Homo-oligomer: A and B are copies of this chain.
Amino acid sequence: MEFAFTDEQQMIAETARAFFAEHATSERTRRAMAGEGIDLALWRAFCRELALSGIGIPESAEGAGLGLVELAIVAEAAGAQVAALPMLGSLALAGQAIAAGGSEAQRTQWVPPLIAGDRIAGYFHDDRMLASGGRLTGGSRFVAHGAIADLFVVTDMRQMWMVRADAPGVTVTAQTSMDQTRPFAHVMLENAPGEILPDPGAALGAAQRAAFIVVAAEALGGAQACLDRTVAYAKERIQFGRPIGSFQAYKHRLADMMIEIEQARSAVYWAACAVDEGAGEADMAVHAAKSFAADTFFRCAGDMIQLHGGIGFTWEHDAHLFFKRARSLQTMLGSGNWHREKIAAMILGEAA
């Protein structure tokens, strides 16, 4: 029992923070927003130079080993810069699914290029997907970074398949998305060929757990960045002849942000640790982390706008990047209410 980063984890955290702070600048992110929502050069640099992209995937599955704690550390650092990267879809969802539920051949074929950034994958579920003779018909309008994906990992929540983006019957349409750093695509499958994953249960479990944690960790990083930037502003902005951070109401609002963020931090690393250790409470932990951290981020991003006053709701200021990302993290992969209902069912039994 030692609920603090090891020296190695501390080093990963510092490396990742420094990397994203230096490279995932507002300028580069805004260029990505104007295009396809990805900073491809940054993604390649992350995958190849930083060598942290294989974290959380076992070495036996062509990954870099280590666990979800380390994956959360990296996602937290990326979230702090609202980096325009396909980490969630390509690594946390598709990569984890293939690594956990794919055959050895599938893993060998796909995991290394995903980790290397040579290929990008998207992920979606469609409860009503029709599957017959290896052909799939269905789709989703909310495939994160789907417009630049080479491969889709798709599930009807029972089985799971890989579908190549250039296969016949696959139509991909980019969508104007509120969060331009992680735009959605509409992916339609019309009798498209799918390659089945042999262990869909393992794939689904791994993808969901990793994705809940990555979303939560990104949210934690984003929320902390909102607080840090607002704290800096509070010290320099003068109103009524005083730094606005000297007003008690302002201070208390910052304190409230910090209170929630510290809880979110406990939630994220509790969840990551519990999954890594195979603890019995891991399921509750991932639901708690996803809902709590995303709600915290949304609140902090809204507060960031409010506490910046007029400048906070201009396009020019970065506050809206955090705000829109926060909204997107809240709704994707189940709303806060949905996750809390899961926890309610654990402690109370299913609703009548």
Interface, chain A (partner B; CB < 8 A):
247-249, 251-252
Cα distance, A252 to B248, chains bound together (Å): 10
A249 to B252 Cα, complex, angstroms: 7
* Copy count, this protein chain: 2
Closest to A255 in B: B249
* Complex interface: chain B residues within 8 A of A252 (CB): 249
Please name all residues of chain B whose beta carbon is closer than 8 Å to the beta carbon of A248 when the two chains form the complex: 247-249
A251's nearest neighbour on chain B, judged by CB, is B249
Bound-state CA distance A251–B251 (Å) is 14
Q: How far is the CB of A254 from chain B (nearest CB, A)?
A: 12
- Chain B residues within an 8 Å CB radius of A251: 249
A247 to B, closest residue via Cβ: B248
Min Cβ gap A303→B in Å is 15
Docked pose: A247 CA to B247 CA in angstroms: 9
Which residues of chain B have C-beta atoms less than 8 A from A247's C-beta? 248
Residues of B within 8 A of A249 (CB): 248-249, 251-252
Q: How far is the CA of A248 from the CA of B252 in the complex (A)?
A: 10
Min CB distance A295 to B, Å, is 21
Distance to closest chain B CB from A351 (angstroms): 13
Residue of B nearest to A250 (CB): B248
